Amino acid sequence: MTRTTAPAFSVISGHQVQQVLDGRELEILELIEAVYRLHGAGGTVNPPSFFLRFPDRPSARIIGLPASLGGPLRVDGLKWISSFPENTASGLPRASAVLILNDPDTGYPYACLESSVISATRTASSAALAADRLSRGRVRPARVGFVGTGLIARYVHAHLAATGWEFEETGVHDLSPDSAQGFRGYLERSGTKGRIAVHDSAESLIRASELVVFATVAGEPHVHDASWFGHHPLVLHLSLRDLAPSILLDAETANFVDDVEHCLKANTSPHLAEQATGSREFIDGTLEDVLTGRVAAPADRTVVFSPFGLGVLDLAVGRYVHDEVARRGALHVVDGFFHELSRYG
């Protein structure tokens, strides 16, 4: 019997992750599309995420996303991501995360990566992919609006720009005026073309935008008026809990998700809509349905994309980063991390 050895264990910092991913937006978008297609074909295992909540800190949570990815990037693993919205009051980002990659042959973990950048990247790349595919068949949006102006909004903007989007106007709205102005400053520094408009209300921004990006920390719906969407924009509902069920259930709304089972959980807006009706018939399809041509997004209705976020996307980006860092000879290996490796001492 051939003796199997434990893999080396490496730690990859956020700086290294950023070095690998900077300027690779088009490659990552192609990777994300490939993983969606693999997931739709049954080539992944993506169990429900689990939530650690705290009675004394009701706004905070830590989420575990276990997953297994088949295909060329075969890997198992877990993303462990915390969301502590109160961090933003002190200037610290809301989310922090690590990603563990496991060897599919032995089960041994072989890498721990800083994962807030990986998580933001896969979210932004998924959003850019959805914006492109769900807008085909309609006039390409020329005015974009961001509701919520944190890290995710910045990454989404960067990925849209890097994948060929240009806008005549970029709208900004945040409950924190300082955050809105900070995001405006980022847009100006990044060379954003067209007009930049800071809006005092979500209503003003939505009515002025053909592509709306929700990237807030909302725990429950705060947008209730379907008339705000009377011009039928494309809506990237990334924060999942902004829209009242009545908006999703409106006859003028078409709803797409990344995975039906995952999205209809944890009191997301689609989950609330299901609870209100006892039915999932309001879901028009998944992004993979659109990618494969089984379903087409309508051009004459509001289109809402609500992605829960699949752990297999994190695994794919994490494996991509790990392999590139290894190729550069820059892995920080923790010697002797696995110590007790003899069954009999």
Domains of the chain by residue range? 10-118+312-333, 123-306
Quick one: what percent of the chain has pLDDT higher than 70? 99
Query: How much is the pLDDT for 1?
Result: 46
**pLDDT mean by block of 10 residues, the chain; 345 residues:** 78 98 97 97 95 94 96 95 89 91 96 97 98 96 97 96 97 96 97 96 98 95 98 98 98 97 95 98 98 97 97 98 98 92 77
pTM for the full model? 0.94
Contact at 8 Å (CB) between 13 and 114? Answer: yes
Query: How much is the pLDDT for 93?
Result: 85
Mean pLDDT of the residues in the chain? 95
Query: How much is the pLDDT for 3?
Result: 59
For the segment(s) 10-118+312-333, the CATH number from 3.40.190.10, 3.40.50.720, 3.40.50.80, 3.30.1780.10 is 3.30.1780.10
CATH architecture of the region 123-306: 3-Layer(aba) Sandwich (3.40)
CA–CA distances in Å: residue 178 to residues 150, 172, 181, 184, 292: 11, 12, 5, 10, 42
- The C-alpha atoms of residue 77 and residue 320 are separated, in whole angstroms, by 14
